[in-house]
A and B are shown apart, each in its own frame.
Chain A
Amino acid sequence: MPTSIYEVLELMRKYGRIEKIHKDTYIVEVKADKVKDICSILHWKLGGHFSVTVGSDERLINGYFAIYHVFLLDEQKISIIVHTKANPAVPKIPSITPIIPGANWHEREAHDFFGIVFENHPNLERLILPYDWPEKVYPLRKDVSIEELRFKILKPETVKAKAKPEEEYIVPIGPYHPALHEPEYFELYVEGERIVDAKYKGFHVHRGIEKVAEERLTINQIPFIAERICGICGYTHNVAYCQAVEYAANIDVPLRAKYIRSILLEIERIHSHLLWFGVLFHLLGFDTGFMMTWLVREKIMDLAEILTGNRKNYGMNLVGGVRRDINEGKIKLSLETLDHVEYKLRNILSKMLKLKEIMSRTKEIGLLSREEARKLSVVGPVARASGISTDVRKYHPYAAYGELEFKVPVYDAGDVYSRVLVRYDEIFESISMLKQLLKNIPKGDLMAENVEVPEYRKGLGLTEAPRGENIHLVITGRENKVYRWRPRAPSYNNVPSTLVMLKGENLADAPAIIASIDPCFSCTDHVVVVDVKRGTRRTLRLKEISRGRAR
């Protein structure tokens, strides 16, 4: 099997034309019939993993619909985008879901928004659009007329459950459930207390960010909305977007800015993991652990506030660099806080994780085997707990990570306890990384000099969010706007794995299993208008979308 970059590129050349978009990122344009073969090779033979599928309406550029399948090859440290075109009259592309089950949702989303039909897809149903969205109205197409989008919900949605034997019963978890902090809907088929099957329907908090960004926002306004995609890990979205544009426009970000970005990213990682620990303890009934973990987390939030002025939504990035600086005094304070936090965590958290009830309710629960993890292409701690060593910071270094020393914790039991251990180790790795960053931060500028963004360039921004790899694909547009922006949060790839993990488990463990992938549903739901239940709630006003006319 080819292992060097050169050999891989040679192999790709056999399928189509290869072009280098930017550093370590290549795009291969293939014909529709070769898509399955090349994707299979990239995911299974070459050891890469499928990351995201992006659909794009490029009829204004070249007259076709485009599909981009993005693959990350950790060993060679490159990303390869497989680009194929679809006939605008009857857009049809062979589906890669039969080979890579993890592409299921991605293709359904492209189908929802662009109307592209994926042949041989096992269940090409609606994923994101609500059940009563009219047919044949594809929101992300450039020629979608806003008048067509004015309508009311006709009747409340009723659940149509699958046919089941009489010994099973259904337990709904969500959309409103105390175990979830965001709305999602899990339908569990239960016998006695054992779950025999699970179904998921999500995307209740879909906010139409992509359409808004394409129509109304400038390139430098988007980082601020990107930060608000998620309530916990927003900064990674921010950085990923900025990086995508910077790579596309070939902008050189100064090193000090990169360090500052990395510092904030690691702070975010620590507080996100501590939040997750608190939530997990709460779901297991261990409120004492919940309270104590969050008490330590407060110190980290204070640190974020000192460094950026806000506990969340730091507002630090622009395309080309950062907006504010960190002075010596803040660095010293940060190092002290980190020492204190590390000491507290080593004492408290390690003891809590050794408690018998915590271990008995997380060991051997929610198993995800390595094969399943590869099939569904899960990312982040979920993958690392199932024996797959993948970390964007290590294998596709960005910001200042190329200059740091750190380990990637990998466990292979694939149960909830392994995910606990992965995140536990990551916290301490982050603390060590933060200390390195704070001690070695170089002097320099904060913002790049010449920030000019040429049009119709593609850029791929990768970051490692606390939940896994975050990937943004940007196609720059004219007049300081983006042509297409696709943010894909890590939970998008991870949530389908819950359906595998839930089967055969106890009902009482369901919330803990769902929580163990650290689902961030706000991240996951992003494009197109959300429900207008009973016609009374105004969400994203259609008029607001219509103000930027599609060209």
Chain B
Amino acid sequence: MIAQLLVLTNIVGLLLITPIIDGIERKIKARLQCRRGPPILQTWYDLLKLFRRPSIVTEEYSLPYIISPYIVFANIIFALALLPSITRVSLSFYGDIIVLTYLIASSSIFIAIGSISSGSVFATIGANREISIATLSKLLIALVLASFAILKGSLTLEKLFPIMPPYTISAILAIVLFAILAYIESYKLPFDIPEAEPEIIDGILVEYSGKSLGVLKYSMYLKRVLLFTMLIDLVLPRNLPPIISSLAYIVSLIFVSILFVTIETYFGRLRIDQALKFMKTLIPILLVVIVIAYFHI
């Protein structure tokens, strides 16, 4: 019972914090670009504004267009419940790592199906790019998780997190590569490709408005936090006293997002084929990591 309550606290807390994290990112990005930037709570204001607005739907829509934002949201929330975040407790069972991967994948798929169902050609182009990237990144995530599984000998997240010292070379490499993957999956420049874009007018988000858009954007922010949480959980030790561990988590979350946004400010956007090429070059590196991990180096 207590465990379930704590998991609920996790989720509620993350729901509250995520737009603030996004606000911090926007502020830091603005400062790095010599601008002032919006206030930190701006993302909350934006989301609340969107929730109040009516939705305008297209004339040629099909049902998945209406329901997919909510399904995506539900998928990500459930995935968040599987990870220890603010409180260090999570829902855990054998093989939950696979469920997590599938939930992330299914969120991409539902976004794609939903936006294509709006009937817009821009959304279809954006959805295609989204799925192309998501497919390759699933391969990379699978490889990384396999290397972690080899390192720790288990497929359960509880046993995988964290990777404790002494850090073997394979562990360090795996964590670094996972950080790169988290960066790619969270659609930061230069991998901003399916999302907001001057090329195809916002891509997958083009025909969404009002509440659905608010929910979708919220889900995207949550997905970013989800990936950051996975990264942090790999490193943060588990045996800290509860309040300190929560604080440590929140501080690390802010730190990771600032780090990533600083890197992001440096880059322009890649084209889809260039992005896929880059991801393909990661594959042999990961295979090498798996082999090294097998030999416990």
Contacts and interface: CB of A to CB of B under 8 A. Distances in A.
B268 A361 contact: yes
Given A170-B121, A171-B125, A508 B33 contact: no
Contacts of B274: 360-361
Interface stretch (A93-101, A278-286, A315-323, A467-475): A278-286
Contacts of A179: 198-199
A291 interface: yes
Interface in A151-190: 169-171, 177-179
A506 B273 CA distance: 10
B272 A508 contact: yes
Interface in A22-36: none
A358 B32 CA distance: 19
Interface string B260-297: 00000111111111100000000000000000000000
Given A288-B33, A288-B266, A295-B34, A178 B271 contact: no
Contacts of A511: 198-199
B271 A358 contact: no
A177 B274 CA distance: 24
SS class of chain A's interface: helix, strand, loop or mixed?
A: helix
Contacts of B200: 171, 507
B266 A169 contact: no
B266 A283 contact: no
B189 interface: yes
Contact of A508 (B190, B201, B202, B271): B271
Nearest to B264: A288
B122 interface: yes
A355 B34 contact: no
Most B Cβ at <10 Å: residue of A283, A284, A295: A284
Taking residues whose C-beta sits less than 8 angstroms from the other chain, chain A's interface range is 20 to 34
A170 B122 CA distance: 10
Interface string B163-186: 000000000000000000000000
The 10 closest A-B pairs by CB, nearest first: A285-B269, A286-B268, A291-B33, A357-B268, A179-B198, A284-B268, A508-B271, A178-B198, A285-B268, A288-B33
A361 B265 contact: no
Contact of A357 (B202, B269, B272): B269
A281 B33 CA distance: 13
A365 to B, nearest CB: 10
B34 A285 contact: no
A509 interface: yes
A113 to B, nearest CB: 34
Interface string B192-207: 1100011111100000
B58 to A, nearest CB: 15
B52 interface: no
A193 interface: yes
B125 A285 contact: no
| Interface size range on B against A | 20 to 34
B189 A291 contact: no
A463 B175 CA distance: 60
Contacts of B190: 285, 357
Contact of A193 (B34, B122, B270, B272): B272
Given A177-B201, A282-B198, A285-B190, A361 B34 contact: no
20 contacts: A171-B125, A178-B202, A179-B198, A179-B199, A281-B268, A282-B198, A283-B199, A284-B269, A285-B190, A285-B268, A288-B32, A288-B266, A291-B34, A357-B268, A357-B269, A361-B270, A361-B271, A506-B273, A507-B199, A508-B272
Interface string B1-43: 0000000000000000000000000000000111100000000
A171 B271 contact: no
A289 B268 CA distance: 9
Contacts of B199: 179, 283, 507-508, 510-511
A355 B268 contact: yes
A296 to B, nearest CB: 10
A169 B121 contact: yes
A258 B198 CA distance: 41
A307 to B, nearest CB: 25
Contacts of A284: 268-269
Contact of B121 (A171, A286, A355, A358): A171
B115 to A, nearest CB: 15
A357 B193 CA distance: 14
Given A193-B125, A288-B265, A292-B34, 18 more contacts: A171-B125, A178-B198, A179-B199, A281-B268, A284-B268, A285-B197, A285-B267, A286-B267, A289-B268, A355-B268, A357-B269, A358-B268, A361-B268, A361-B269, A361-B271, A361-B274, A506-B273, A508-B193
B269 to A, nearest CB: 3
A358 B190 CA distance: 11
